[in-house]
Amino acid sequence: MRPCLLCFLLLLSACMGRDREPVVPPPRVPADLLEPVPGYTGPVPTTEGQLSSALIAERRGRLEANSKLTSISEILRQ
C-alpha cells in the first residue's frame, strides 16, 4: 500500500509544473484568540468608585485584546 501512495505523490507533483507555486494552507489560529474581549459592560458609572472600576475593567479588556492581536500576528508571520 505504501509504494502506491509514494507513486501517487510523485505523479501528482510531476503534474504541477515548474512555474506554479505550491498551494499553502492558511495558518491555524486557535479559536480562543478569535473570541471578542469584553471591556466594561455594567451600568453607567455615577460615582468615582464606579468610574474607577469601569476604567480598570476597560483597560484590562484592552490589554487582553492587544495580547490576542499580538499572538495572532506572530502566528500569521510564520
DSSP-derived letter for residue 15 is: T
Number of C-alpha atoms within 13 angstroms, CB side, residue 75?
A: 14
Joined together, the cell numbers standing for residue 62 give 484592552
Instruction: Indicate whether 58 belongs to any domain.
Output: yes
Instruction: Indicate whether 33 belongs to any domain.
Output: yes
Instruction: Indicate whether 8 belongs to any domain.
Output: no
Which pTM does this prediction carry? 0.62
Joined together, the cell numbers standing for residue 34 give 478569535
CA 9 to each of CA 6, 13, 15, 16: distance values in angstroms, whole numbers, following the listed order: 5, 6, 10, 11
Instruction: Indicate whether 21 belongs to any domain.
Output: no
The number of distinct structural domains making up the chain is: 1
Instruction: Indicate whether 13 belongs to any domain.
Output: no
- The model's pLDDT over 14-45, given as tens digits with 9 standing for 90+, comes to 666 666 677 788 888 898 888 988 888 889 99
- pLDDT > 70? residue 2: no
Structural domain containing residue 41 = 29-78
